[in-house]
Amino acid sequence: MSSPDPGHPPSTAADTDRRALVLDSAMVTFARFGYRKTSMEEVARAARISRPGLYFLFSSKETLFRAAVTQALERDIAVVEQVLADSARPLRERLLEAFDQWAGRYVGPLAQDVTAVIEDNPELLGEIVESAPRRFEELITAAIAFESGRDAAPSVAQTMISASIGLKHQAASREFYRDRMKVAIELLVRGKSSRTTCRIP
């Protein structure tokens, strides 16, 4: 029985897993060296695949980069959806975990390189760099609206996202980001709850 061609497009679960691993290796390599300095040879070496095999899967470095970033962002969004859907957990906990998955795990000297390589090359990535953040905002807004009502949910969600962006650039560690984001979420959720439960006679 012949072994499968390592450069064949994914058609089985094993092929799909292999492709995902190649894209993970590519993302790490792009983050380490930057897009322009990364070669297909370096990605192939990191992924333990032949250079022809890599080119068979991805016709160019640009195609590979777009696929790697798309996989990373889609994976993050999928986890955020799962976290926010767990209505058995308090809203504050779900929001904190969602923000940690979306932004917190990219905080720190090494993780920031991933963010930088994405932010530095938006022209190569197309719609995903806008659609993924937009989907994240929609998910956060929906979770807040379900608990606290739809009127203020968009502004509360946008304020949380603004706080997250600021903290992401200030924080030296993921723990710092989580601690400060927890405070921001607590204040915003508590403030919203107070406004909705208090009634002026």
pLDDT in tens, the chain (201 residues): 444 444 445 557 777 888 999 999 999 999 999 999 999 999 999 999 999 999 999 999 999 999 999 999 999 999 999 999 999 999 999 999 999 999 999 988 767 788 888 888 888 998 998 999 999 999 999 999 988 778 889 999 999 999 999 998 888 899 999 999 999 999 998 765 544 443 323
Residue 116: enclosing H or E segment and its boundaries? Answer: helix 112-119
**Predicted structure pTM score:** 0.82
- At 149 the pLDDT is 79
- At 141 the pLDDT is 97
Kindly write down the DSSP assignment for every residue of 59-105, as one continuous string. SSHHHHHHHHHHHHHHHHHHHHHHHHH-TTS-HHHHHHHHHHHHTGG
Rounded alpha-carbon distances, angstroms, from residue 34 to 40, 121, 129: 13, 10, 17
Structure tokens, 141: 């807004």
For residues 123 and 129, the answer to whether their CB atoms sit within 8 Å is no
- At 191 the pLDDT is 60
Chain centre to alpha carbon of residue 8: 28
